[in-house]
């Protein structure tokens, strides 16, 4: 069974309330068990490559990490505001509750989506710059301003339709529809890693990184982390285009005890 460690600075809720509390960067998150069902693979250049099939966590299906302009999704929207204002999002930006942004579990950062309240047809356009909402049955967490525009801020939640409009350049923090129209028609979520080692001494991590610096087309990096007040140097392989691809890599048994990281 593959273990997915979810590292994020996205949003969580207090039970029974629509106010939000920030997550400390040092906080550790419980792992989530993915379904043990292996993903479909196909052979290319003599090696097996993963397809971009959805994955399931606790019986809930998450959408593929390949996203195309025109893709639509249905679900419940919520919002987050003052308790997060000015704090870092998963993309590294400071959260601005008055900007038209949102958090989503899997859409690539800087994906621009139209959000439509299916009850009132009120609409807004937001840019994804954070991860969340990590609450069952919710599909998107809107900024305060975006929630105001579609009538979510007062009720707390609403049923919405999401439509992918395009992808802002990673350096842009605005929504330029003309630039988006000329941009790519699909985007990938690529921040999946596989941990292949963890060391208390930097020398061990350095040796492992150098040994597997370019392993089967994936690159090794060292992450300097804290765990239980202990400094650990973790070695990750990066370059996976989807969680399914990382899962298939692990199933080949190259590294005993390896697991997926989604940063």
Q: What is the pLDDT of residue 206?
A: 93
Which two three-digit tokens encode residue 43?
A: 């052979």
For 81, the token pair is 């505001």
User: What's the pLDDT score for residue 228?
Assistant: 74
> How far is residue 88's CA from residue 130's CA, in Å, rounded to a whole number?
9
Task: Collect all residues with Cβ–Cβ distance below 8 Å to 193 and sequence separation of at least 6.
Answer: 221, 236, 237, 238, 240, 246, 260, 261, 262, 263
Nearest-CA neighbor of 110 among 19, 190, 13, 23? 190
Neighbours of 113 (CB within 10 A): 25
Nearby residues of 224 by Cβ (< 8 Å), 6 or more positions away? 231, 233
User: What pLDDT is attached to residue 174?
Assistant: 81
Dist CA 133 CA 156 (whole Å): 13
Write out the chain's pLDDT in tens, 263 residues: 333 333 334 453 322 222 333 333 332 222 222 222 222 222 333 332 333 344 344 454 444 456 789 999 999 999 998 888 988 887 778 899 999 999 988 787 789 999 999 999 999 999 998 877 877 789 999 999 999 999 999 899 999 999 999 988 766 778 888 888 888 887 765 568 899 999 999 999 999 999 998 898 888 999 888 777 788 899 999 887 677 778 888 988 999 999 988 76
Query: Hey, what domains does the chain have and what are their CATH numbers?
Result: 3-188 (2.40.40.10)
123 conformational bin, left if phi > 0, alpha if psi -120 to 50, beta if neither: beta
Helix (H/G/I), strand (E/B), else coil: 250? helix
Positive or negative CA dihedral for 174, 190, 8, 137? positive
Decide if 108 contacts 189 (C-beta within 8 A): yes
Angle at 68 between CA 166 and CA 187, to 5 degrees: 75
Q: Strand, coil or helix: what is 217?
A: coil
Angstrom distance (rounded) from CA 236 to CA 229: 21
Q: Which of 236, 245, 244 is closest to 7 using CA atoms?
A: 236
pLDDT at 150: 97
Phi, psi angles (nearest 5°) of residue 95: -70, 130
* Count of Cβ atoms closer than 10 Å to residue 40 Cβ: 11
| Whether 234 contacts 208, CB under 8 Å | no
pLDDT at 166: 92
Q: What's the maximum distance between 2 C-alpha atoms anywhere in the chain? A: 59
Which of 196, 183, 201 shows the shortest CA–CA distance to 255? 196
Q: What is the pTM of this model?
A: 0.55
Residue 12's pLDDT is: 38
């Amino acid at each position: 069974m593959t273990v997915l460690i979810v590292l994020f600075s996205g949003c969580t809720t207090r039970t029974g309330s629509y106010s939000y509390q920030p997550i400390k960067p040092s906080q550790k998150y419980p792992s989530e068990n993915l379904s043990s069902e292996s993903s479909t693979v196909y052979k290319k250049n003599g090696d097996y490559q993963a397809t971009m099939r959805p994955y399931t966590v606790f019986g809930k299906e998450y959408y593929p990490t390949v996203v195309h302009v025109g893709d639509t999704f249905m679900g419940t929207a919520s919002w987050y505001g003052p308790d997060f204002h000015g704090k870092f999002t998963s993309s590294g930006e400071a959260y601005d509750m008055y900007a038209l942004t949102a958090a989503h579990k899997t859409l690539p950062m800087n994906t621009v989506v139209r959000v439509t309240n299916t009850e009132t047809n009120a609409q807004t356009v937001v840019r994804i710059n954070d991860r969340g909402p990590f609450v069952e049955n919710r599909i998107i967490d809107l900024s305060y301003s975006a929630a105001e525009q579609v009538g979510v801020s007062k009720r707390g939640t609403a049923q919405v339709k999401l439509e992918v409009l395009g992808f802002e350049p990673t350096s842009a923090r605005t929504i330029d529809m003309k630039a988006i129209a000329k941009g790519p028609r699909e985007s990938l979520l690529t921040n999946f890693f596989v941990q292949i080692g963890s060391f208390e001494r930097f020398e061990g991590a350095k040796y492992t990184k150098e040994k597997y610096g370019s392993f089967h087309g994936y690159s090794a990096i060292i992450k300097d982390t804290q765990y239980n007040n202990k400094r650990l140097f973790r070695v990750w392989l990066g370059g996976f285009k989807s969680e399914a691809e990382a899962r298939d890599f692990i199933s080949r048994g190259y590294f005993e005890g390896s697991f997926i990281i989604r940063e």
